[in-house]
Structure 1
């Protein structure tokens, strides 16, 4: 019984870190802006549905220029050990992307992962899909 309680507590703590906030455009719009902040060592995650052949543009700005993102193809998911999925070229982990534009390879839900390069980071992410 005690092991089950510990496991449930661990899952409750991990669940917010694994959750993704969906990005939805206002009716008739093809872009949106999301703002937030992320603590050192943590990630903010967003999902956005798009179709193959559409062009996505991402731009992130932060007051201290310390927020970056990664973009993952449909099927990617957050796991306790990190992201499980295929990053898109130019926006993979370690590339410290601050802007990205490209034609999307597949239909589905794309994963955007935001993190700081140092310290905590406030950010403003602009997303457009056309």
Structure 2
């Protein structure tokens, strides 16, 4: 009985992790942008983390065949949203000068159904 309970708990943890998995964005040497293709099931999110420096200009665009993929951005040093791309107001395009050194989390989801997408991140 204890084994079944333990297996159930581990399965639930694995499902929660896969539903909210995270990937670090890495740029190829000498490049300042990347395109990431992915998909997110209905009701789930996928997170990307990108490191950048204070004063750099970042542009993020998400494109999807059904125009249903959206994202929001968080600073990981204080977990504040970036203006214009919040959980309550996700977007398909954001650009701005970064206020601090460190990691920024880009959380991709869908505003209806599941979504296939191409996420473009540019840092200059």
8 Å CA contact retained: 1:71, 1:91: yes
- The match for 2:16 is 14
**How far apart, in 2, do the equivalents of 1:13 and 1:36 lie?**
18
What's the C-alpha RMSD, in Å, of the aligned pairs? 1.5
Structure 2: state its 5+ residue gaps: none
The normalised TM-score by structure 1 is 0.86
Other-structure match for 2:106: 112
Q: Are 1:57 and 1:102, in contact at CA under 8 Å, matched by a contact in 2?
A: yes
Cα 1:42–1:18, aligned 2, differ >3 Å: closer, same or farther?
closer
Distance in 2 (CA, whole Å) between partners of 1:36 and 1:117 is 16
Consecutive unaligned residues of structure 1, counting only runs of 5 or more, are 77-84
Count of residues in Structure 1 that have an aligned counterpart in Structure 2: 122
- Deviation, 1:16, is 1.9
1:10 CA displacement: 2.0
Contact 1:68 1:117 in 2 (8 A): yes
- 2:123 maps to which of 110, 116, 129: 129
CA contact (8 A) 2:20 2:44 kept: no
Q: Deviations over 1:91-111 (max 9, x none)?
A: 001213110001111111110
Deviations 1:67-124 (A, max 9, x none): 1000110237xxxxxxxx2111100012131100011111111100011111111111
Give SS of 1:46's match.
strand
Query: Which aligned segments of 4 or more residues in structure 1 are displaced greater than 6 angstroms?
Result: none
CA contact (8 A) 2:20 2:45 kept: no
The alpha carbon displacement at 1:62 in A equals 0.7
